[in-house]
Amino acid sequence: MTRPEPSSEPSKATAQEPRWRKVRRPGTTRRRLFAAAGGLILAGGAAYAYARFIEPTWIDVAEVDLPVPNLPDAWDGARVGLVADLHHGRRVPINYLRHGIERLASLGPDLVAVAGDFVTDQGPSWADAAADLFAGLAPPLGVFACLGNHDYGVTHWVRNAQAGPVADALPARGVRLLRNEAVRLERDGAALWIVGLEDLWSGRCQPAETLAPVPAGEANLTLCHNPDAADSLADAGAGAILSGHTHGGQVQVPLFGPPILPVHNRDRYEGLHAVGGAHLYISRGLGWLLKIRFACRPEITILSLRRADGRGAGGPATRG
């Protein structure tokens, strides 16, 4: 008897064995896309709400050690309250600014310095309201200020711009407004010069002429609204320079920094920098032009003056 040859075709049982595979339903991909898009919209809306309604008025108190070349021992540790860029006008309410100045006063500075741009809108009412913010301040060594470009009503460099009404309103409230001037202060018989420049964009900024009265070897604290003037100021003998103007960019993109800055030197938009033989501190400011801030909170600053180790040397800033 011969055995039947094995069939080359699969058996019926084998042919009917199920083959498991993943079946993608037509709506699955669309649902995922809609979910992802919805998540992005929600995240974007939350970021906008934060940048528009929370951060612009969430004031940061920065505490910084400021090295000052040739600083006498009597001035070591003196506390300077710094504020800049109030921009009072239709977009920046006076109650918010009043809260910021009152908070600065509560920190007990020995001296208050204001680095310009008191107003955005011109007119006596805006100027008087901005100046009134400082009428009640009584730090032991006084309140000193310089003007910013908006205090002249200019948004770019011009020649011989005329200051607006805030220039008259500030001295009437006890603020010592320095317009290319230098003032000598004493503490325990030791000198510190407070220097104030007209704004760089006004076409009236005169670093060499303004710093000429400061004797060589004596410390100075120099106010100049626009940090682009820092190199000329350092060449003229400025020791520690206080500026604003940049607002820190108002919006800082993580890993990239601010996309928009109103300065030529884009490496200097906030904080402490060495510039030649001087030290420059740039405030992020208290107000705004457009009410939006992201990763760049408004700032009031307490600067503790420290003796630098030789001209231009000093330790890093500490923020609080």
Give me the phi and psi of 215, to 5 degrees please.
Answer: -60, 145
* CA–centroid distance for 219 within its chain: 25
Given a contact cutoff of 8 angstroms between Cβ atoms, the answer to whether 284 and 247 are in contact is: yes
Say if residues 115 and 84 touch (Cβ distance below 8 Å): yes
Q: Is 309 a residue whose pLDDT tops 70?
A: no
Tell me: pLDDT of 98 over 60. yes
**Tens-place pLDDT, residues 117-132:** 999 999 999 999 999 9
- How sure is the predictor about 312, in pLDDT bands with cuts at 50, 70 and 90? very low
pLDDT of residue 26: 55
Range in 239-253, 288-302, 304-318 with the lowest mean pLDDT = 304-318
Q: Higher pLDDT residue, 105 or 12?
A: 105
Mean pLDDT over the full length of the chain: 89
Is there a contact between 245 and 227 (Cβ–Cβ < 8 Å)? yes
The stretch 179-205 carries a mean pLDDT of: 98
The average pLDDT across 295-306 equals 98
| Nearest partner of 287 among 248, 254, 253, 252, judged by Cα | 248
Query: What does the pLDDT read at residue 43?
Result: 63
Taking only the tens place, the pLDDT of each residue in 212-246 is: 999 999 999 999 999 999 999 999 999 999 999 99
Taking the C-alpha atoms of residue 220 and residue 199, their distance in angstroms, rounded to an integer, is 18
pLDDT tens for each residue of 16-31:
555 555 555 556 676 6
Instruction: Give the pLDDT score at 189.
Output: 95
Q: Is the pLDDT of residue 294 over 80?
A: yes
**pLDDT for residue 313:** 38
pLDDT of residue 320: 37
CA dihedral for 177, 238, 252, 80, sign (positive or negative)? negative
- How far lies 281's CA from each of 16, 40, 193, 256, 268, in Å? 81, 38, 17, 21, 9
The alpha-carbon radius of gyration of the chain (Å, integer) is: 30
Distance CA 226, CA 282 (A): 9
Would strands 143-146 and 176-177 be described as parallel, antiparallel, or unpaired? parallel
pLDDT confidence of 318, banded at 50, 70, 90? very low
154 burial class (0-12, 13-18, 19+ CB within 10 angstroms)?
A: middle
| pLDDT single digits (tens) 242-289 | 999 999 999 999 999 999 999 999 999 999 999 999 999 999 999 999
- Residue 97's pLDDT is 98
Pick the closest to residue 67 from 301, 280, 237, 299 (CA basis): 280
Q: pLDDT digit string (tens) for 39-56?
A: 666 666 788 899 999 999
Cβ–Cβ < 8 Å for 225, 117: yes
